[in-house]
Amino acid sequence: MNDSSSRALLEKLIGFATVSRDSNLEMIAFIRDFLEQHGVESKLFYNDARTKANLFATIGPHDRGGIVLSGHTDVVPVDGQAWTVEPFRMSEHEGRLYGRGAADMKGFIASVLAAVPHFAGRDLRLPVHLAFSYDEEVGCLGVRPMLAELEKRPHKPLLCLIGEPTELKPVLGHKGKLAMRCHVKGAACHSAYAPYGVNAIQYAARLINRLEVIGEQLAHPQHHDERFDPPYSTVQTGVIRGGRALNIVPEECEFDFEVRALPGFDANEVAHHLQDYAEAELVPRMRAVKPDTGIRLQALSAYPGLATSPESEAARLLAQLCGSNEFGTVAFGTEGGLFDQAGIPAVVCGPGSMDQGHKPDEFVTVEQLNACDAMLKRLADHLAQ
């Protein structure tokens, strides 16, 4: 394309309907072609079905660490949302650029691509790496095979900048997440003989109530970390399914719950506590009525929290790029904790606000996009010094 400005690139990127349930390969092919036009080679990391791919590229020397600029290509669905503009066609009004992914987080990817000519045209002493992933929105799943290879490299990147929307304020921390599904197998019978069955919904209700008690314990002030909002780990049940008719004791019930864990708290403790409660208190009562009943927990997804030190080299560079050392945290998760686990310190900073993310009429402002462009030019200057 002739216009490689961040605005023009964002318009193109929004046009790819990369909802997590669908393929991102068309967008990845566009990015790969764009990079090739500027003399930059890239490597793809496919999922098992080869319907999605991560992209990794390096600009500058390959024999040293450098800086990773990371963004996810997938977006959340628009189903059931009351959009007043076309979600997968960018529109502009009063300095706002509208479209699904404008803030979360194609705006950042557009700025990164717009900066490619600046990076490629400089004699960089340290490389810049581009890492674009799939399936971030469904549990930070897609980036993992790409990180597995980065861990093996002799010259591991020095730090990773995750471009999630923070209004370009420097962020060093976020909570981790564990998503679980609980299956309750009861025993059906006519509701007139309810005591002779095992009501799966009622046992699920006891488990959900137990999760609420655990959440109340985690909210005690001694567990608080005031850097976060809310300042404690949380437990929430979000989905429940069960029952077929009012006059049938339900045989099956399942529900999904999540733990949003402060850095340093192992969210699996909640799952272990629930499993222990089920096996000690509930399963014996169920099996006293019907032996083939039970309760089973299934992990759906998980990613770690992030807590980068304000004294780290990554934090110092972020402060330099942003012009601020007022470091914050965010409530939402990112792939940053996974990069950190792979030995690549991570920070979070990107254009737009998550107040617009996942909502109808999502937007990023032109001002924020321009400011991100300027930040990346400062990064190019830093890497060329």
CA quadruple 374, 375, 381, 382: dihedral, nearest 10: 170
Which residues are paired to 177 by β-bridges? Answer: 260, 303
Quick one: pLDDT at residue 4? 75
Quick one: pLDDT at residue 175? 96
What are the structural domains, with CATH classification, of the chain? 6-174+306-384 (3.40.630.10), 176-303 (3.30.70.360)
Which residues are paired to 188 by β-bridges? Answer: none
Residues of the chain above pLDDT 70, percent: 99
**CA-to-CA dists, residue 179 to 125, 228, 236, 293, 308, angstroms:** 42, 20, 10, 24, 23
pLDDT tens, residue by residue, 120-150:
999 999 999 999 999 999 999 999 999 998 8
pLDDT tens, residue by residue, 240-286:
999 999 999 999 999 999 999 999 999 999 999 999 999 999 999 99
DSSP 8-state symbol, 58: E
Residues serving a catalytic function are: 74, 136
What is the spatial distance between Cα 91 and Cα 11, in angstroms, rounded to a whole number? 8
CA angle 345, 61, 7 (to 5 degrees): 70
pLDDT of residue 206 exceeding 90? yes
pLDDT of residue 307 exceeding 60? yes
pLDDT, mean over the chain = 95
**In the chain, how many H helices and how many E strands?**
10, 16
pLDDT of residue 88 exceeding 80? yes
Quick one: pLDDT at residue 3? 65
What mean pLDDT is predicted for residues 97-108?
Answer: 98
Element at 176 (helix H, strand E)? strand 176-185
Quick one: pLDDT at residue 325? 86
pLDDT tens, residue by residue, 7-53:
999 999 999 999 999 999 999 999 999 999 999 999 999 999 999 99
Element at 72 (helix H, strand E)? strand 67-72
Cis peptide before 105 (omega within 30 of 0): yes
What mean pLDDT is predicted for residues 183-205?
Answer: 98
What mean pLDDT is predicted for residues 159-178?
Answer: 96
- Which tokens sit at 290? 């019907």
- Lowest-pLDDT choice from 74-88, 138-152, 351-365: 138-152
- Quick one: which of 242, 135, 223, 134 has its CA closest to 184? 242
- Quick one: pLDDT band at residue 156, thresholds 50, 70, 90? confident
Residues of the chain above pLDDT 90, percent: 92
What mean pLDDT is predicted for residues 87-96?
Answer: 97
Distance of CA 132 to the CA centre of its chain: 13
- Quick one: pLDDT band at residue 1, thresholds 50, 70, 90? very low
pLDDT tens, residue by residue, 312-355:
989 999 999 988 889 999 989 999 999 999 999 999 999 999 99
How much is the pTM? 0.90
Distance of CA 346 to the CA centre of its chain: 14
Annotate 18-57 with DSSP letters as a single string. -BTTS--HHHHHHHHHHHHHTT--EEEEE-TTSS-EEEEE
Cα four-point dihedral sign 50, 54, 55, 56: negative
Phi, psi at 12, each rounded to 5°:
-65, -45
Q: Which region, left, alpha or beta, applies to residue 4 given φ > 0 means left and ψ of -120 to 50 means alpha? A: alpha
Annotate 284-317 with DSSP letters as a single string. HHHHHH-TT-EEEEEEEEEE--EE--TTSHHHHH
- With beta carbons less than 8 A apart as the criterion, state whether 253 and 240 touch: yes
pLDDT of residue 187 exceeding 80? yes
What mean pLDDT is predicted for residues 102-106?
Answer: 97
